[in-house]
Amino acid sequence: MAEQRDPIVGIDLGTTNSVVAIVVDGQPQVLDEAGEKLLPSVVGINPQGQLVTGVAAKNQLAAFPDRTVASIKRRMGRMDPVPMGDQSLMPPEISAIILRRLRDRACRAIGQPVNRAVITVPAFFDENQRQATREAATLAGLTAERIINEPTAATLVYHAGSQDRKQIAVYDFGGGTFDVSIVRMEAGVTEVLSSRGDVHLGGDDLDQVLMDYVSQQFQAEHGVNLQENGTSRHRLWQACEQAKRRLSTEETTQITEEFIAEKAGQPLHLTATITRSKFEELIEPFVERTIESLDGALREAAMTIHQLDDLVLVGGSTRIPLVETRLREEFLREPSRAVDPDLAVALGAAVQAAMIEGQSVGPVLVDVTAHTLGIEACVGMTWTGPQMQFSPIIHRNSPLPARYEQAYSKMADEQKMTEVHVLQGEHSETDRNQSIGKFMLNLKEGGGERNKIVVRFELTLDGTLKVTATQPATGLSQELTINNALSQFQAGERSHAEARLEEMFNRSDEFFDDDDEIGFAKQWNAEATDFERVQPTAQSEALELQSPEAAELLKKAAELKTPLEDQDSQDLESLCENLKQAINADDPEMVASLSAELDDLLFYVR
């Protein structure tokens, strides 16, 4: 059925969403449909009796639950019929419908038939479940060239082509499930050493805990439970889910829903302010559960954190800053998270597909920050004064463009200004990082909310960093734009470095001057006036043959050009010129005399 020349696509057949990707010119790309990269893994029969998939099926799920099927992945491997309208389908048949839709999407996107695929499954899938996935592919008209584990695919995104032995933890925190795997890569072979998870832990739990908090606050104020009324609850959920997303970059967010409920005929409005620290306090127990699972997976693989070479983040919930912070603290390394965590598994499957086709594929290229960016902050007081440290705001390897806010406090209520010192580097000690700018922020005195200072970093793809410091309680704000923030050097330091290197190049035999023509076209005589060093030419070789001692002296003189005072330089230049003429005129006495004179001069000026 499948021709060997057909392209092979990579498919992430997910519980909630599915994605299809392919490698083009050595780089994997997600194939979208009208801009939509994710296809909801939902299948249904609409009121007109037609088969619907994706967004349309998801939209009708709550209206016609008896005609719609979601999360079929959870039932793969069991041959229990699933009712869908007046039909009963087996789980592989439902999955086949999703795969067929993905196949059609791929055909349309690349403009040629697609008959082969690499499909990902969870590491914990048993042989029955894998076989069911293979059968689903066949029913969809696809040959499953390989069924690979999701953590393996995620690993390939970051480490494709690597032959070194690497041990990698893949942390997958999605909307409804969590799992973590320890993977070993060696000589192109990937093996899952251990895998743990919680099929009932995901971003939905985080939405719920935020909803509970906001509705409790509302009830305390107005005596109305927003979760009792279906409409209010739905609006509250939408608002909380959006707030959760905003808190991934913003330090504080507002939840505002007007006319959300009524009491005794009076309309009630919801206005709540959620800080990132409050949200983190609410979700911390869930994040700790994931860390415990990761510890468990490590123990199962008989490994310690120090043996890990990388920590790969997958799943939308890994965008939450607390997740990243806790993993960084626990594993003492910067996680790999440059690739969109919702698409990483599909991209990895595409990489595997390309490898089967014999294509050479490297790691996925994504624009990331090469260094950590942050500010200098006081972390405590010692008897010598404030203890300053580098406080990272945008971490190394963050995908670009990047935006993040961090809250700080004034050191004293009566403080009238603060210096925002922007740094780049990886050390906690301020001095060991690169200073890339600083500015002052005027503050209004006072305690409470006036103590809070929010620093916002916005880094664009071209490396422009906008730093904004604000005292939210007063609205006082100041900003600084740093161009080329991704460079190692500040403008002033760069020119200094250029001058220093230029001098070193000039003094070295190994480098050409910019003015030099390639191919050694310049002649010794032509250069003699400016003492530039070139490779020996035929003429200079002749000079050496005629008078090797004089030629050696001329060589030494040329090396001394730069450090000499003006007068010495002129004397040296004149003497060298006369010596060369004497050599050319074949006047041994003059050569000897001038050589002695040059030798003396060189002795004194060195």
Partner 1 sequence: MLAEQIQAAVTNIQSLELKLQAGPQDRGSDSEEGHGIGPLVLLITDTEHQLSRAISAIAQWESTRQSRREADQKSVEQFFAGMSPLARWFARPLLTFIAGQHSALETSAENSAMTGLNLVLARLRGTMKEQAIERLDTLGQEFDANIMHAIGRIVTKDYPAGHVAEQLSPAYLWQGRVLRFADVRVAQ
Q: Which residues of the shown chain bind partner 1 in the complex (CB under 8 A)?
A: 32, 34-36, 46-47, 52, 55-64, 230-231, 234-235, 258-259, 262, 265-267
Q: How far is the CB of 175 from partner 1 (least distance, A)?
A: 16
- CA distance readout (Å), 382 to 15, 386, 388, 427, 429: 53, 6, 10, 20, 15
Q: How far is the CB of 43 from partner 1 (least distance, A)?
A: 12
Q: Smaller CB distance to partner 1: residue 53 or 149?
A: 53
Q: Smaller CB distance to partner 1: residue 60 or 369?
A: 60
Q: Judge contact between 380 and 58, C-beta under 8 A.
A: no
Q: How far is the CB of 482 from partner 1 (least distance, A)?
A: 23
| Beta strands in 237-276, from DSSP E residues, in sequence order | 252-263, 266-275
Q: Smaller CB distance to partner 1: residue 204 or 559?
A: 204
Within 8 A by CB and 6+ apart from 282, the residues are 206, 209, 210, 213
Q: Two tokens at 30?
A: 């997600």
Q: Two tokens at 250?
A: 């913003």
Q: Judge contact between 405 and 456, C-beta under 8 A.
A: yes
Q: Two tokens at 172?
A: 């997958």
Q: Smaller CB distance to partner 1: residue 59 or 593?
A: 59
**In 391-461, alpha helices (H):** none
Q: How far is the CB of 60 from partner 1 (least distance, A)?
A: 4
Q: How far is the CB of 13 from partner 1 (least distance, A)?
A: 22
- For residue 601, the surrounding DSSP H or E stretch is helix 588-605
Q: How far is the CB of 63 from partner 1 (least distance, A)?
A: 3
Q: How far is the CB of 56 from partner 1 (least distance, A)?
A: 4
Q: Residue 370: helix, strand or coil by DSSP? A: coil
Q: Smaller CB distance to partner 1: residue 86 or 509?
A: 86
Q: Judge contact between 284 and 323, C-beta under 8 A.
A: no
Q: How far is the CB of 453 from partner 1 (least distance, A)?
A: 28
DSSP of 105-123, one letter per residue?
HHHHHHTS---EEEEEE-T
Q: Smaller CB distance to partner 1: residue 32 or 516?
A: 32
- CA distance readout (Å), 163 to 156, 166, 188, 309, 363: 12, 9, 6, 14, 12
Cα gap 455→474, rounded to integer Å: 15
Q: Residue 304: helix, strand or coil by DSSP? A: coil
Q: How far is the CB of 491 from partner 1 (least distance, A)?
A: 29
Q: What number of other Cβ atoms are within 10 A of residue 31's Cβ?
A: 22
Q: Within 13 Å, how many C-alpha atoms sit on residue 414's CB side?
A: 0
Q: Smaller CB distance to partner 1: residue 51 or 590?
A: 51
Q: Which residue has the tokens 């690979």?
A: 148
Q: Smaller CB distance to partner 1: residue 48 or 567?
A: 48
Q: How far is the CB of 465 from partner 1 (least distance, A)?
A: 20
The phi, psi pair for 491, rounded to 5°, reads: -55, -45
Q: Residue 160: helix, strand or coil by DSSP? A: coil
Q: How far is the CB of 268 from partner 1 (least distance, A)?
A: 10
**In 411-565, alpha helices (H):** 491-507, 524-527, 538-546, 548-559
Long-range contact set of residues 425-428: C-beta below 8 Å, sequence gap at least 24: 425/371, 425/372, 425/390, 426/371, 426/372, 426/396, 427/390, 428/389, 428/390
Q: Judge contact between 560 and 606, C-beta under 8 A.
A: yes
Q: How far is the CB of 462 from partner 1 (least distance, A)?
A: 17
Q: Smaller CB distance to partner 1: residue 269 or 299?
A: 269
Q: How far is the CB of 36 from partner 1 (least distance, A)?
A: 8
Q: Smaller CB distance to partner 1: residue 34 or 518?
A: 34
Q: Smaller CB distance to partner 1: residue 1 or 62?
A: 62
Q: Smaller CB distance to partner 1: residue 64 or 124?
A: 64
Cα gap 457→402, rounded to integer Å: 8
Q: Smaller CB distance to partner 1: residue 74 or 269?
A: 269
